Structure 1
């Protein structure tokens, strides 16, 4: 039986300590479910950096990006970091779009006081990558299905409309963000300035995100690895 791989998660990283803690909590919870060793890492702004972790890992590893959509980091930065090392690491795709993320968003909306049928604006950090735009359109569709009401899309940067163009008075806003930080603070400010009635919390270490990280790690593991269910 092949030994269990080392789970390496990789989040973007933020200067906000509480935001970086989300990646660590998700990683610890997923590792406990899998029974694997695990390390949370970051693309930038927080240690340990992904490049440093994969250079030091002694066993075969699987890398699960804690990134919600395709973009430059996933298509360029992370593969380049792996190419610079000879370590055996399997890199996964972005977490989203996925029904588990939509379920977590719906929970966050309810917790914030949004009511069934209330129109929602999904707001994402945004990207200039066209592939990211397709991912975000799909994420909005999945949230509409999970929430049971119309969902419109806004972004804070890159391609797509801004909150001021999309939010209507009384809308609920669902930040499509893993953790608190610059984009989260900006999303709340801009949403309320545009007339939103409710702004949900970030996804955070929601149980459905733990499920998703475990699912992605299992899919990356070699077939000969015995993976707990």
Structure 2
């Protein structure tokens, strides 16, 4: 996310914060952080402590679910949210691919429009599930979804832009359209020739879609 955050800050002259979720990147996760909603409340508290206003929350994949939960917190500091290939809801006939046992290379093969362009896993990468996937499951549970989330999204009262890579093999575009349909003030944009990680695969197209939406 760092490279795209730098691009976003440069082009929009905005302050962009890129937190590392507790438990990711080898960081500790406090015992009280047991779910996505709890993590969302932690970030809302952080916004209060930093006294930030007019905040747009942007999240990809798990971060998209987190952005939705932050929007549900109805913080006056949050003015909009962007969900990019988010997970978290359940859509009949369009299940999320179970990546719980995937290696980094397997996740990449499902996440890119052209897997041949995905960066090679670092030398010495483990063959089993990555530590970050294990940390992810610690927040989301094994299903990586909340059966009640889609129904709760009707309470979101800020504008939400849902963007989706059309070639996503983790959660397909029909899943993305269902995500947008569950949110009252939402728009939906498809990103062509893009998989699950637009900020890596087509960052200029993602930025263009964000700027076009205002």
Higher strand residue share:
1
* TM norm structure 2: 0.37
Q: Which has the higher contact order (CA 8 A, sep 6+)?
A: 1
Structure number with greater Rg is 1
* TM norm structure 1: 0.36
